[in-house]
Amino acid sequence: MPPTIFPGLTEYLITCAILVVAQLVYVLFGFGSGLIAVGSLALVFPDIRDVVVLLLLVNLPAELWVVLHSRREIRWRPILGLGAGLAVGIPLGTWVLKTGDPDFVLTLLGWFLIAVGAVFLKLPAGGRLHPRPWLAPPTGMLSGLLTGLFGTGGPPIIIWYHLSDVGKAAFRATSWRSS
């Protein structure tokens, strides 16, 4: 039998359960699968790099399906600025993940999850603030950095669209890879 990243059947089943719950949250709310999966799987796997690769492989087909079905709702103007930032941030985050100390990266993940929770608790209702267009590239870069580093760069873009008060379908279609 070929080697896998799973030490045993128990870890495999726990991983499957975590991914099912994470995808259920994604289906219900339109985001959050990455945060749940990365935070939970980091407790199962000793190497965060395995978690990031696994999550990207599992989530990519679902994300492409959402984009395909919601493509008419895509808001192209913000995507250009966000996408430019993502193009810079993802390779940078991937480089830090590859070359960084795994303990430091895991500690950074813990602080990131705490910070995201605090920010989401304090967010005003959607549509009250409208992000300035010049903030799109830095927001995209931060999201890309987090995507490359943890496989879950959604929070900056989620906050961006939450404050912009776009519809759920437009949000899902436009933020397809960062959540």
pLDDT at residue 178, as a whole number: 43
Tokens 């304090």 -> residue: 122
What's the average model confidence in pLDDT over 103-107? 83
Among residues 109, 92, 104, 100, which one has the least CA distance to residue 40?
109
Least confident of 60-69, 77-86, 108-117, 134-143: 60-69
In tens, the pLDDT along 73-86 reads: 666 666 778 888 88
**Mean per-residue pLDDT for 36-54?**
84
Model confidence over 13-30: pLDDT tens digits?
999 999 999 888 877 776
Contact between 157 and 175 (Cβ < 8 Å): yes
For position 32, what pLDDT does the model report? 73
Residue 138: exposure state from Cβ atoms within 10 A (0-12, 13-18, ≥19): middle
CB atoms within 10 A of CB 6: 17
Tell me the pTM: 0.64
CA distance 168 to 31: 10
pLDDT value at 53 more than 50: yes
Q: Report percent pLDDT > 70 for the chain.
A: 82
* Least confident range of 59-63, 76-80, 112-116: 76-80
Q: How far apart are CA 4 and CA 7, in angstroms?
A: 8
Q: Regarding predicted confidence, which is higher, 146 or 26?
A: 146
**CA pair distance 4, 150, nearest whole angstrom:** 20
Q: Give the torsion sign (CA, 80, 73, 152, 56).
A: negative
**C-alpha torsion sign, points 170, 174, 176, 179:** negative
Mean pLDDT across the chain:
78
Say how far apart CA 158 and CA 49 lie, in whole Å: 24
Residue 73's φ and ψ, nearest 5 degrees, are -90, -5
